Copies of this chain bind each other. A is one copy, B any other.
Amino acid sequence: MADRGRPRGFDRQKALARAMEVFWARGYEGSSISDLTGAMGIASPSLYAAFGSKEALFQEAVTHYKATEGPEILAAMDAAPVIRDAVEAYLTTSATTFTRRGKPRGCMVVLSGLTPAAANEGLCEGLRNDRAANIDDLESRLKLAVSAGQLPAEMDTRAVATFYVTVQQGMAIQARDGATRATLMRIAHDAMKAWPALIGVA
């Protein structure tokens, strides 16, 4: 029912990817409609016709970010048969995605909505939930390993998951500040040096 009328003159997915990069680099408040339309190569009416509003575009950009950057990290974790290596892969793969040539540095979910203006607090709550979900997901992985007998039943899976997500978030800031991929890898490996003590009974 939408095959009538003048066809869209731009690739919606490509435009979304461009918008994602702008938000990724400058955050929600730091990205103006003019910044976005410039990067997307379209005029503002086309943006609003295709995406609805700046906020809706941002939401869709975050979803696109999670869909494009997330699976790589999950796949790397799944590829590791040993839980310790899966956690390490979580950090090292993050280091990789945080320092891609031609892409903004660091993590969009971590960096793009930390200091909301009064009007945009709702937006940042969604990102906060995404960050909380990261902890939940990692903890689920740890619990699975506990169930499988790979980890002691008495360990505090919540604390360990929180610790490694915290390190990953710090790595996002380091990446934004210009840390090289090698430096981030070193941080990841150094964080794993706490692993034996962390999985020991608290």
Please name the residue on chain B nearest to A178 by beta carbon.
B128
A83 at interface (Cβ–Cβ under 8 A)? Answer: no
Min Cβ gap A141→B in Å is 17
Q: Given A115-B29, A132-B177, A177-B132, do A160 and B190 touch, yes or no (CB 8 Å)?
A: yes
A41 at interface (Cβ–Cβ under 8 A)? Answer: no
Find A170's partner among B115, B166, B178, B194 (CB 8 Å cutoff). Answer: B166
B191 with A131: CB separation less than 8 A: no
Secondary structure of the A contact surface, majority rule = helix
Min Cβ gap A147→B in Å is 22
Find A112's partner among B115, B117, B159, B169 (CB 8 Å cutoff). Answer: B115
Q: In whole angstroms, how far apart are the Cα atoms of A128 and B197 in the complex?
A: 33
Contacts of A194 in B (CB 8 A): 190-191, 193-194, 197
Contacts of A117 in B (CB 8 A): 26, 29-32, 35
Q: Given A25-B115, A114-B27, A116-B30, do A190 and B163 touch, yes or no (CB 8 Å)?
A: yes
A80 at interface (Cβ–Cβ under 8 A)? Answer: no
A59 at interface (Cβ–Cβ under 8 A)? Answer: no
Q: In whole angstroms, how far apart are the Cα atoms of A131 and B174 in the complex?
A: 9
Residues in A2-35 with C-beta less than 8 Å from chain B: 25-32, 35
Min Cβ gap A132→B in Å is 7
Please name the residue on chain B nearest to A159 by beta carbon.
B186
A118 with B173: CB separation less than 8 A: no
Min Cβ gap A152→B in Å is 15
Q: In whole angstroms, how far apart are the Cα atoms of A194 and B163 in the complex?
A: 12
A150 at interface (Cβ–Cβ under 8 A)? Answer: no
Please name the residue on chain B nearest to A200 by beta carbon.
B193
Contacts of A165 in B (CB 8 A): 170
Q: Please name 7 pairs of A and B residues whose Cβ atoms are closer than 8 Å in the assembled complex, sorted by A.
A: A131-B173, A132-B177, A160-B190, A169-B170, A169-B173, A170-B173, A193-B194
